[in-house]
Amino acid sequence: MQDNFTTYRGVRIDDTAEWRLVIYLSATGMSAYLKNIEDPLEPMMTLFAESWNRDEKSLLSRIEQGVYDHPQVMDDFSTDIVVCTPHTVWVPEDVCREEEDAAAAFQMVYPSVSADDIVTDLQGSVGAVFTLAPGLPSFLRRTLSGARVRSHQSVLMQRFASRGGEMPMLYVDIRDGEADYILLDDRKLLLAVTHPWHDPMDIAYMVFNTMEVYGLKRSSTQVSLSGLREVKQQLLKQLREQVDYVMLTMLPSGIVEGDIPLAAAFALTKNK
């Protein structure tokens, strides 16, 4: 991936209380989106979108510069920061309620990560514990102190769970080189994980492996696909040959596919 910097243009906002801001952070870029929460018919606005090469050493400075280059994100909006990272561990609610316990659980999987760099996103009876870059939580607290910091897996899980379903539901969201797998049964979270992929068949393998591990029947499990159009369409055809219920994930109203990452779209269009 080559560095790609968009030209920033501030958006005139008369009353920040009427708008929701979502900042999306990942190892390969950041973006920011605005949505009028008082007028749902007003279209979403992209404040900026930038991408860069994956480099752990420079990631924090990239994010810092992105915030400073786009000062409008520090205005008094209702703000969600969605952090897209595969380094996420899901733990029970009682573990999440104490920061030290949550950090200790995370460090059992990622022992080299400092407790200061770990964030917890509690959702009901479970919580996502995650990290993206050393020093990031401290920077966000200093510059965007009123913002809610969310795991992208948690945002996806929360919205998918709200939709319910009469059968187990496996949601697959496909990005360039990564895919998220969210498995729910009667709104109960069974799995939320991110895996790399190099060929669409890698994703198909993960779908079938997940169903086998959790004892799910191909005749009574729904698979919903979102993300990269060409890969999604290829998998839609292939999976339908072996799974009875395969479909495309419904996007939030007013969101055009490809304009915004799915987790950011869900955070932007959540209920007030």
- Domains in the chain, CATH or no CATH each: 155-248 (3.30.420.260)
How would residue 271 be classed by pLDDT, with cut points 50, 70 and 90?
low
Residue 10 confidence class, pLDDT cut points 50, 70, 90: low
Question: What pLDDT sits at residue 104?
Answer: 96
- Sequence letter at residue 74: M
In the predicted structure, residue 165 carries a pLDDT above the cut 90: no
Q: What is the pLDDT of residue 8?
A: 45
Whether pLDDT at 2 is above 60 = no
- Lookup: tokens for 93: 């609610």
Reply yes or no on whether the pLDDT at 251 is more than 80: yes
Nearest to 188 by CA among 151, 162, 209: 162
- How confident is the model over 202-215, as a mean pLDDT? 97
> For residues 153 and 45, which has the higher predicted lDDT (pLDDT)?
153
The rounded mean pLDDT for the chain is 91
Residue 213's DSSP bridge partners are none
Question: pTM to 2 decimals?
Answer: 0.92
Name the more confident of 184 and 98: 184
Cα angle at 159 between 59 and 198, to 5 degrees? Answer: 50
Please give the pLDDT value at position 253: 74
**Crossing angle of helices 136-143 and 56-69, rounded to 10°:** 10
Q: What is the pLDDT of residues 45-73, one digit of tens each?
A: 899 999 999 999 999 999 999 999 999 99
Closest CA to 194 of 132, 134, 123, 243: 132
- Residue 239: enclosing H or E segment and its boundaries? helix 229-240
